[in-house]
Amino acid sequence: MTFDASGSTAPGGVADFSWQFNDAFAAQTVEQTTPTITHTFPAAGAYSTGVAVFNPDGLSAGTGGIVTTGPNGFTPAFTASVGGPGDKTASFSGLTTVSGKPVINYLWEFGDGTTGSGPTPTHRYDRPGTYTVTAVLFSGIGSAFPGDGAGPIYAQRIRIGKGHGHQ
């Protein structure tokens, strides 16, 4: 797969790109001054990836996501299912494997101040509206840095009670 961070900016300009592909435990970070990179993953599947952009002073900002070999773009970490117009309940289903390892911990923020866990939570909202649901899927392989202790973070907007689906 080829990754392109040429749309990235940093105060004072971009001096360095630091890539993390998380396709093996303790995967090495690849640093380079050019914004595009091609990486071959060891097998088909969904992988947590990350890039940090450094300015000339060494300050950085990072982002990441889950990519699946084969298709272009990022893979949602979960799907959401919302009932009809009067229903205020949403069901979520997270990926079960990331970076070749089973997801062992799911942390959910439902966008209304409440949290949850598990691979397939259901949540009832008090009021209709649009909510940003955030999930962290921990498989022991990090999103921006290798090793235990990090996981990809994914957010999706859903609409409750005024129609249904995600935006």
Residue 158: predicted pLDDT: 94
Residue 109: predicted pLDDT: 96
Residue 45: predicted pLDDT: 84
Residue 151: predicted pLDDT: 63
Residue 146: predicted pLDDT: 43
Residue 102: predicted pLDDT: 85
CATH numbers and ranges of domains, the chain: 2-68 (2.60.40.10), 78-160 (2.60.40.10)
- pLDDT in tens for each of the 167 residues of the chain? 889 988 888 888 888 998 888 887 777 788 999 999 999 888 888 888 888 888 888 888 777 778 888 766 778 889 999 977 788 999 999 998 887 778 888 999 999 999 999 999 999 999 999 999 999 888 765 544 444 445 677 889 999 986 444 44
Residue 165: predicted pLDDT: 47
Give the 3-state DSSP-derived string for the chain, with helices as H, strands as E and coil as C.
CEEECCCCCCCCCCCEEEEECCCCCCCCCEEECCCEEECCCCCCCEEEEEEEEECCCCCEEEEEEEEECCCCCECCCEEEEECCCCCCEEEEEECCEECCEECCEEEEECCCCCEEECCCCEEECCCCEEEEEEEEEECCCCCCCCCCCCCCEEEEEEEECCCCCEC
